Amino acid sequence: MTKHFLNRREDIVTEALDGLLMTSAPGELARLDSYPEIKVVLRADWKKDRVAVISGGGAGHEPSHAGFVGRGMLTAAVSGEIFASPSVDAVLTAIRAVTGAPGCLLVVKNYTGDRLNFGLAAEKARAEGFKVEMVIVADDIALPELAQPRGVAGTLFIHKIAGHLAETGETLAAVAEAARAAAADTVSLGMSLSSCSIPGQAHEERLGAAECELGLGIHGEPGVERIAMRASVSLVETMASRLAATIDDAGDYALLINNLGAVPPLEMGLVARDVLRSPLGRRARLVLGPAPLMTALNMNGFSLSLIRLDAVREAALRAAVGPRAWPVPVEPRPITIQPAPRVDTVDAVTAGSDETAATLIRTVCEHLISLETELNRLDSRAGDGDTGSTVATGARSVLAQLPTLPLADPAAALGIMGATLATSMGGSSGVLLSIFLTATAQRLAGGASLADAFRSGLERVTFYGGARRGDRTMVDALEPALDALAADGVAAAAAAARAGADATRGMTRARAGRAAYVGESNLDGVPDPGAEAVASVFEAVAAMK
């Protein structure tokens, strides 16, 4: 069962709305005293002197809908329980609370429950003398032949356009006409890697590990079709081509990139890049997001929405608003690139051949690359699971540079390798190895022996990194190896390094590195991946013929 933060399932919606209200700016939002049976969030500063814009629906789509209540957008939002339409009484109460002589517009997503409950509330309100219009948003193009498409994230365009026109004093007829026309020019399509889980309910994932869904709703409904997982750019291309088939060949559009709830910002940035580089993205004059705007609880997916622009719609979408959840629209533009400062940290040295040194470097690098999977596995127990990949990346960078290294000058070669690792490896491992090689190179250049130079490199590593022998790091293998190397040679160094690495299996508490934050049960019996890498390198060197 998926875990959730909640107190009681029955209270999660009202308590979440409380959180929104408690963190809003003073005088910005309020709720009606019919709460919690009738959940209506409204503008605290509303004076009923302009057209009111009301929307709502089931909870679980946050920040929609209450998160978009404020100046320039919604006047009030009516919330039901999770994925459940608010009652007729709730909608009617909202109409009564915010509607003055100019009237109100209801913006409704095309789901049966919403249409019926908002529709009956509108009829009752009209019978009471209120001026009420309703616009239904049906922007989902997943099933082109469907007579009643669903309303999804494109609804937010309508909230913004209608809210702006109402804020500027347009009549109810003008606001309703513009909203209906905007809804007719809006299309959306979603993609998900997993279904959402409802707090307090058992969750069963319907998708396989290599499947994703295209054309999903926002209530956990199955997608129109399951497709095979593949690269993001290919998935985006599928969505973009289907959306492009539904819009005009000419004209500019606004593009909304919506996170359905659980896609990490890192991945949403990648999706945005892929979308904007597609032919569809090049049609976008304005871009909103990527951001969670109309979510489906914790659905691991995203949706794309497009609306055809004209001068009125563009002005409405660009206009500043009160709700913080609404993203500032931007015009997509080429990436700005500025030259990075370049400093030659190593004097130019004529490359000299030394086949023994080249073989040694090649052996070490290829061995580290071969350990990538195993080191990642070990690091997954004590860190973030990337030690092997980080080390392999550095090794590949050094291999690529091998033909140009001045191997006849060990100090210069080590200095260049140190500079390479600092930029190619990343993370603390790359910095520490760069420090080790750079300090070693400096001592060699000053006339020190190789053994003394290595000891100097180790001293700098322990100084900057803070780790000592016994702290469960690569120092546990490196220090005894260098001691043995100076006294007894490579074979003894390999044996000492192996003994040091094996000793970390019994160290259930780390005093440096990411493993310092990991519990004893995760460390017991697992060698430190950095120490394991050092020991393996010395063993590979000792085994060279």
- Judgement on whether residues 174 and 258 belong to the same structural domain of the protein: yes
pLDDT over 90 at 505, yes or no: no
Domain holding 395, by residue range, is 355-542
Instruction: Tell me: pLDDT of 94 over 90.
Output: yes
Q: What is the pLDDT of residue 85?
A: 95
The pLDDT > 90 percentage for the chain reads: 65
Judge if 369 and 269 occupy the same domain: no
Q: Give 139's contacts (C-beta < 8 A, 6+ positions apart).
A: 149, 150, 151, 152, 153, 154, 155, 183, 186, 187, 188, 305
Within a domain: 346: no
Q: Which of 302, 318, 334 is the last residue of a domain?
A: 318
Residues 6+ apart with CB under 8 A from 396: 365, 369
The residue-averaged pLDDT of 182-195 equals 96
In a domain, residue 328? The reply is no
Q: Same domain for 173 and 87?
A: yes
Average pLDDT of the residues in 328-350: 77
Q: What pLDDT sits at residue 316? A: 98
pLDDT tier, 73 (very low <50, low <70, confident <90, very high otherwise)? very high
Give me the sign of the Cα torsion angle 343, 347, 352, 353: negative
Residues 309, 380: one domain?
Answer: no
Alpha-helical regions (H) of 231-291: 232-244, 265-276
CATH of the domain at 376: 1.25.40.340
- Asked if residue 330 is part of any domain, the answer here is no
* CB atoms near residue 531 (< 10 Å): 27
User: Quick one: 309 and 409 in the same domain?
Assistant: no
| Closest by Cα among 32, 28, 49, 29 to 40 | 32
pTM of the model: 0.74
Q: What is the pLDDT of residues 506-529, one digit of tens each?
A: 776 555 554 444 445 556 677 888
Q: Is the pLDDT of residue 338 over 90?
A: yes
Same structural domain, 441 and 293: no
Q: How many domains are contained in the chain?
A: 2
Lowest-confidence region among 229-233, 341-345, 452-456? 341-345
Identify which of 274-288, 425-439, 481-495 has the greatest average pLDDT.
274-288
Beta-carbon contacts of residue 157 (< 8 Å; ≥ 6 apart): 182, 186, 254, 256, 305, 307, 313, 317
Token pair 């959730």: residue: 4
Q: SS3 for 284?
A: strand
Indicate whether 401 pLDDT > 50.
yes
Residue 257 amino acid letter: I
Query: In this structure, are residues 122 and 132 in contact, taking their beta carbons and an 8 Å threshold?
Result: yes
Q: How far apart are CA 285 and CA 128, in angstroms?
A: 44
**Which among 126, 108, 106 has a CA at the least distance from the CA of 51?**
106
Residues 421, 431: Cα–Cα separation, whole Å? 7
Q: Which residue has the higher pLDDT, 149 or 99?
A: 99
Residue 497 has which token pair? 């390094």
Report how many helices (DSSP H) and strands (DSSP E) the chain contains, helices first. 18, 12
Q: Is the peptide bond before 199 cis (omega within 30 degrees of 0)?
A: no
Same domain, yes or no, for 314 and 363? Answer: no
Q: What is the pLDDT of residues 277-293, one digit of tens each?
A: 999 999 999 999 999 99
Judge if 312 and 412 occupy the same domain: no
Let me know: does 395 contact 368? Beta carbons within 8 Å.
yes
Closest CA to 46 of 85, 67, 9, 75: 75
Active-site residues: which are they?
219
Task: Examine the domain organization and report whether 28 and 175 are in the same domain.
Answer: yes
**Mean of the pLDDT values across residues 489-497?**
91
For residue 338, tell me if it sits in a domain.
Answer: no
Residue 351's φ and ψ, nearest 5 degrees, are: -60, 130
CA–CA distance, 332 with 304 (Å, rounded to integer):
15
Look at residue 348 in the predicted model and tell me its pLDDT: 44
Instruction: Name the domain boundary from 318, 347, 370.
Output: 318
Q: Do 240 and 140 share a domain, yes or no?
A: yes
Structure token pair of residue 425: 């490896």
What is the C-alpha separation between 149 and 137, in angstroms, rounded? 9
Mean of pLDDT over the chain = 90
The pair phi, psi for residue 118, each rounded to 5°, is -70, -40
The reply to whether 287 falls in a domain is yes
Tell me, rounded to whole angstroms, the distance of Cα 13 from its chain centroid: 25
| Tens digit of each residue's pLDDT (9 = 90 or more) over 106-133 | 999 999 999 999 999 999 999 999 999 9
> What is the pLDDT averaged over residues 194-222?
87
pLDDT of 350: 53
The answer to whether residue 466 scores a pLDDT higher than 80 is yes
Average pLDDT over residues 499-506: 86
- Residues 16 and 95 placed together within one structural domain of the fold: yes
Q: Is residue 25 part of a domain?
A: yes
Listed residues 290, 318, 346: the one ending a domain: 318
Structural domain contains residue 323: no
- How far apart CA 397 and CA 402 sit, in angstroms, is 9
Which tokens is 188 given?
């959306």
CATH number for 115: 3.40.50.10440
Q: Report the percent of the chain where pLDDT is more than 70.
A: 94
364 and 289 fall within a common domain: no
The pLDDT tens digits for 12-53 are 999 999 999 999 999 999 999 998 999 999 999 999 999 999
Does residue 1 form part of some domain?
A: no
Q: Is the dihedral of CA 340, 343, 345, 349 positive or negative?
A: positive
Q: Is the pLDDT of residue 190 over 50?
A: yes
